[in-house]
Amino acid sequence: MSIHQPPGGQPLRSIGALIDAGIVTPQRHDELQAVAGRYAVSVTPAMAALIDPADAADPIARQFVPDAGELVTLPQELADPIGDDAHSPVEGVVHRYPDRALLKLVHACPVYCRFCFRREMVGPGGDALTGEKLDAALAYLAKHTEIWEVIMTGGDPLILSARRVREVAKRLAAIPHIKVVRWHTRVPMVDPGRITADYAKALRIPGKASYIAVHANHPREFTDEARTALARLADAGHVLLSQSVLLKGINADVETLGALMRAFVENRVKPYYLHHPDLAPGTARFRLSLEEGQALVKRLRGHLSGLCQPTYILDIPGGAGKIPVGPAFLSACETPGAEAFAEDRHGERHLYPPI
Ligand SMILES: *Cc1c(COP(=O)(O)O)cnc(C)c1O
Ligand code: SF4
């Protein structure tokens, strides 16, 4: 049985609200209250409506409902797993790669994902980047002419009002060396009603190419409303890309992952990155090994259209950056008169001759 919230309801932001909605049993109140004291909680009505409380392994619940395991931090887990802090020249900007910088306008999100790599930084309340802080961040972007692309992230920038989005868009439009603006968001899936045709238009940056990287992890997130939201964004002229996290118990099997990638492509979203889970505190229950991840990605390559292939990415813990982590289809070959073995989709190896 699934719970159906009235449309336009409020997000569930406390353990009490999750209990009232029938998503969490009252017996778990105390243990989960301790988790909620540490990491923000929010489940939007759209996501709450997808949860089947009778299914202990529900992949939507697993993404958003807190778990007592979150209070256990392993030695290898890091508060800032991908090292954002070391590369932040002014508040709200992360500039790790010369040609692109992150602009974090807000810390809040419509949902709080239990596996979030920025879980120590995101949450309600924190200041949005406004006034002098926004001026300083934009001045940094304007001064650094090597910045070709600005990545709008947070938090989730699509919780901002159309008015604020238009204001920032206008100011970015005035910086000549910025050619590309990329929005990173979960809103089209988790709060699709926000994406009206007008809002989709507000996200366009006059004179620049705009990309929207849509975060989704399970094919069930593609509700009719989410599909409509994606269509509005594509129709407004944005190029849509996907971002997913490979998560144990959610999408780490070839059927689910394949259905997820097909759902993206069917909705004009080109699969971009499939992230290996980051070493965020209290997220051990979601992690799988790189070897398991590579085996899955290899099977996708063998089964699905080239359009459905994401790049499998590891963000090296500590801040050394993102790298693609295979799987490799070429292997070293010692046979004279051959450069390499090339493995086909059936696992058969073929000699590739030297040039
Ligand atoms: C992930 C990330 C980017 C974007 O990387 P792409 O490979 O271009 O998608 C840019 N800056 C920082 C700091 C990042 O963490
Ligand atoms: S929407 Fe993104 S930033 Fe927000 S909690 Fe989820 S993963 Fe983290």
Annotated catalytic residue, options 39, 104, 109, 273: 109
What are the extents of the domains in the chain?
7-70, 85-324, 328-355
Q: How far from the centroid of its chain's Cα atoms is residue 76's Cα? A: 22
What is the predicted pLDDT for the residue at 8? 60
For the stretch 140-190, pLDDT in tens is: 999 999 999 999 998 999 999 999 999 999 999 999 999 999 999 999 999
For residue 244, the surrounding DSSP H or E stretch is strand 239-245
What is the predicted pLDDT for the residue at 145? 98
Quote the crossing angle between the two packed helices 254-266 and 290-303, to the nearest 10°.
Answer: 60
Partners of residue 243 on adjacent β-strands: 215, 273
What is the predicted pLDDT for the residue at 1? 42
Averaged pLDDT, 278-301? 97
Those residues with Cβ within 8 angstroms of residue 167's Cβ, 6 or more apart along the chain or in another chain = none
Model confidence at 2: pLDDT above 80: no
The Cα 94–Cα 92 span in angstroms is: 7
The question of whether 96 is a catalytic residue gets the answer: yes
The Cα 221–Cα 219 span in angstroms is: 5
Residue closest via CA to ligand 1's atom 7 equals 322
Model confidence at 14: pLDDT above 70: yes
Which residue matches tokens 């499998």?
312
What is the predicted pLDDT for the residue at 337? 84
For the stretch 57-97, pLDDT in tens is: 999 999 999 999 999 999 999 988 888 888 999 999 999 99
What is the predicted pLDDT for the residue at 6? 47
For the stretch 107-148, pLDDT in tens is: 999 999 999 999 999 999 777 899 999 999 999 999 999 999
The CATH number for 85-324, chosen from 3.40.50.10880, 3.20.20.70, 3.40.50.300, 2.40.30.10, is: 3.20.20.70
Among the residues of 236-345, which ranges form H helices?
A: 254-266, 290-303
Q: Note if the bond before 354 is cis, omega within 30 degrees.
A: no
Annotated catalytic residue, options 67, 97, 285, 333: 97
* Contact of 317 with 78, CB cutoff 8 Å: yes
Model confidence at 24: pLDDT above 50: yes
The Cα 242–Cα 25 span in angstroms is: 34
What is the predicted pLDDT for the residue at 216? 98
CB atoms within 10 A of CB 171: 15
* Contact of 263 with 218, CB cutoff 8 Å: no
Confidence band of 259 (pLDDT split at 50, 70, 90) = very high
Atom of ligand 2 nearest to the CA of 117: 8
Confidence band of 291 (pLDDT split at 50, 70, 90) = very high
What is the predicted pLDDT for the residue at 23? 97
CB atoms within 10 A of CB 44: 26
- Least confident range from 252-256, 275-279, 345-349: namely 345-349
The question of whether 100 is a catalytic residue gets the answer: yes
Annotated catalytic residue, options 58, 114, 116, 199: 116
What is the predicted pLDDT for the residue at 31? 96
What is the predicted pLDDT for the residue at 354? 87
Atom of ligand 2 nearest to the CA of 112: 5
Residue 301's Cβ-count burial label (10 Å; 0-12, 13-18, 19+) is: middle
DSSP structure string for 68-95: GGGG---TT--SSTT--GGG-SSTTEEE
Task: Supply angle C-alpha 237, 238, 243, rounded to 5.
Answer: 155
Averaged pLDDT, 241-246? 98
Q: Ligand 2: which of 156, 184, 187, 218 to mutate, judged by most atoms within 8 Å of the beta carbon?
A: 156
Distance (angstroms) between ligand 2 centre and the Cα of 7 equals 23
What is the predicted pLDDT for the residue at 84? 85
Cα Rg for the chain, rounded, in angstroms?
Answer: 21
Partners of residue 281 on adjacent β-strands: none
Averaged pLDDT, 306-312? 98
What percentage of residues in the chain have a pLDDT greater than 70? 98
Which of these, 54, 44, 46, lies nearest to 17 by C-alpha position?
44
> Ligand 1: residues whose CB is within 6 Å?
82, 94, 96-97, 100, 102, 151, 322
Atom of ligand 2 nearest to the CA of 119: 8
